[in-house]
Amino acid sequence: MFSMFRLPLLAAVVFLTLAASAQQTTLLVDVDHRPQISLDGPWHYIVDPYRNGWGSNPEHASPNGYAKNAHYVPGGPLLQYDFSRSPTLNVPGDWNTQEKALLYYEGLLWYQRNFTYHPRPHTHLFLHFGAANYAAHIFVNDQHVCDHEGGFTPFDCEITNVVKDGDNFIVAAIDNTRTVEGVPTLRTDWWNYGGLTRPVSLVELPDTYIDDYSLQLRRDTSDRIDGYVHLIGAAPGTRVTVSIPALHLEKESSTDTNGRAEFSFAAPGLELWSPEHPRLYDISMTAGPDHLTDTIGFRTIEVRGDQILLNGKSIFLRGVTYHEEAPNGGRAWSEQEAETLLGWAHELHCNFVRMAHYPHAENETRLADKLGILVWSEIPVYWDIDWTSPHTLDVAKHQLWEMIRRDRNKPSVILWSLSNETPQSPARDAFLHQLAVAARSQDPTRLITSAIVTHFKGTTATLDDPLGKDLDVLGYNEYLGWYQGTPAEIPNYTWQDPMGKPVIMSEFGAGAKAGLHGPVTEMYTEEYQVNVYQQQFRMFAKMPFLRGLTPWCLMDFRSPLRQLPGIQDGYNRKGLVSNTGEKKQAFFALQDYYARRQQETGNRQ
């Protein structure tokens, strides 16, 4: 079995060029509403822990290495690889759970598949990746087409000039080695699933096409929509039309010298999106030969004092946190897995979820739109990273940019989260300040948050982390009754909010193995876990500024840090549901608590 604790030095140099090469990729918004040629299915693979197929230059993969996709011929020249003779992995999917020998593997793995394509005139062809963890180096017909760093955000490589009429091939070198300068960095409390973990497809676009847009309800209004549509390949003055058939609306604008067409118009009769009424509208955008549709809901989200206002009214966020992990293990990517995870949240009477600790698959945010579940979306700036590295900052900014660009037209997404449990320091504050500025510049319509470590003096917590100055909503993590104190002591803790901002208890909870029973004083029993939840509920009643909860967590998930035999066995057991789908006692305790809150106040407070 390959060691998951390989030193990162072998691959570190490979990442040095990724930030510089990021311009080779783009991100087409709303790919899931465009016609696509799916490349999902079996891909040949070669495991390459010694980087034999990379070549001698550590900064760039050689086109004469595995990227060449040569074939062994008996009696021919020496060749020590052949994808056509190699085994296959399913794409999308992580490699760790598809092959037992790869469960702990961290390093370089090469994918290859053939495809047939017939180019058409005046057509751009893009290769779309939903996600690849962590560093991706993409070749088509033995030509390098793009690189990408970041394991949870989508990217597109234009291959118009390298694709041939007829038979073609793709080679993707994917490396999930953890590095000091990576985002996330060397240590996480989740499994480092490697591979092409989300769908891969071909996308055709005309000479002039829509690559980005934003349509949002203006704050302090109930029927005013502002936004833009951006075109590639458009001359200044190109006409762009936006229509909402259900409202009998059609509006026109023209592009400026940067290809951007601005829109601002009234939408009489507009029904606002909310958890109680998740109204979505079909939106049509036309520009020259390109036509694109999306399904968008309109709502406002803002802060007033220590209140969170949805459509101008205070709301309490009944939430839960979860990882993008499928029941029975592996990286979740399918619509069915999204329905299972968000279905459990819906069953808990949640109107909110925290998708930790990285951007989840787009089908999850799409489903949240439909179900009326609000979303906290996060980039993996996790624990202590390299706060002084320009490369790390560039990577974090780019992941933030990709997350926002992909999901800013999703009404369910209300919070962009910059980080999780980062230790206080001036370098951290400066790093995250830059991310906050970048997020607000790209999307001024949503709120900014982070999950912060709670520090106690005795039994008092003062929520004054300097990071809070850059946040609209304060998320605080605490594990009273598990990592600190006993469950019986929890109601004695008091909380102070000197910043006067709304607070979400972004993590709390306790571990329990499903089916393990015993006294409430015995850790890892269901009884202990449910007692922690019940005592937490008593404490929350004394926090008037509390505006939401996202307990840790919905489902047990794999973690290399959790090795207690017979209980953890490589899983973080703080889930309300086991990794095989068994609901623990705490699931029903939280369900009852949220049902009471919903009865007492409705979705609003």
- For the residues of 15-44, what is the DSSP string, one character each? HTTHHHHGGGEE--TTGGGS-EEE--EEEE
The rounded mean pLDDT for the chain is 94
Q: Cis ω on the peptide bond leading into residue 92 (within 30° of 0)?
A: yes
Task: Write down the pLDDT at residue 329.
Answer: 83
Sequence letter at residue 556: D
C-alpha span between 374 and 342 (Å, rounded): 11
What CA–CA distance (Å, rounded) separates 93 from 116? 23
- Distances in Å between the Cα of 444 and the Cα atoms of 218, 435, 472, 480 are 11, 13, 12, 35
User: φ, ψ for residue 524 (rounded to 5)?
Assistant: 75, 0
Alpha-carbon gap, residue 190 to 364, rounded angstroms: 19
Q: Please classify residue 268 by burial: count the beta carbons closer than 10 Å to its beta carbon, then call 0-12 exposed, 13-18 middle and 19+ buried.
A: exposed
The model carries a pTM of: 0.93
- Gyration radius (Cα) of the chain, Å: 25
d(CA 106, CA 51): 12
Q: Which two tokens stand for residue 106?
A: 């961290």
82 pLDDT more than 90: yes
Give the C-alpha separation, 521 to 358, whole Å.
34
Confidence of residue 58 (pLDDT cuts 50, 70, 90): confident
Q: Which structural domains are found in the chain, ordered by start? A: 9-206 (2.60.120.260), 219-299 (2.60.40.10), 302-601 (3.20.20.80)
pLDDT at 392: 97
183 in helix, strand or coil? coil
Q: What separation in angstroms does the CA of 105 have from each of 101, 175, 336, 357, 382?
A: 8, 10, 27, 21, 21
Q: Which of 20-34, 212-226, 486-500 bottoms out in mean pLDDT, i.e. has the lowest?
A: 20-34
From 195, 366, 202, select the one nearest 297 (Cα to Cα): 366
CA distance 601 to 596: 9
352: nearest Cα among 594, 514, 171: 594
On the question of pLDDT at 24 being above 80, the answer is no
Three-state secondary-structure class, residue 529: helix
Note the pLDDT of residue 57: 87
Q: What pLDDT is recorded for position 600?
A: 81
The H or E element containing residue 347 is helix 335-347
Amino acid at 128: H
Strands (E), 454-525: 456-457, 460-462, 473-477, 494-496, 503-507
**pLDDT band (50, 70, 90) for residue 374:** very high
Sorted by sequence, the CB contacts under 8 Å of residue 338 that are 6+ apart come out as 332, 361, 363, 364, 367
Percent of the chain at pLDDT above 70?
Answer: 95
pLDDT band at 8, cuts 50/70/90? very low
pLDDT single digits (tens) 83-130: 999 999 999 999 999 999 999 999 999 999 999 999 999 999 999 999
Position 5 scores a pLDDT of 30
Q: Which helix (H) or strand (E) holds 415?
A: strand 413-420
pLDDT digits (tens, 9 = 90+) for 176-224: 999 999 999 999 999 999 999 999 999 999 999 999 999 999 998 999 9
* 130 CB neighbour count, 10 Å cutoff: 24
How remote is the C-alpha of 552 from its chain's centroid? 17
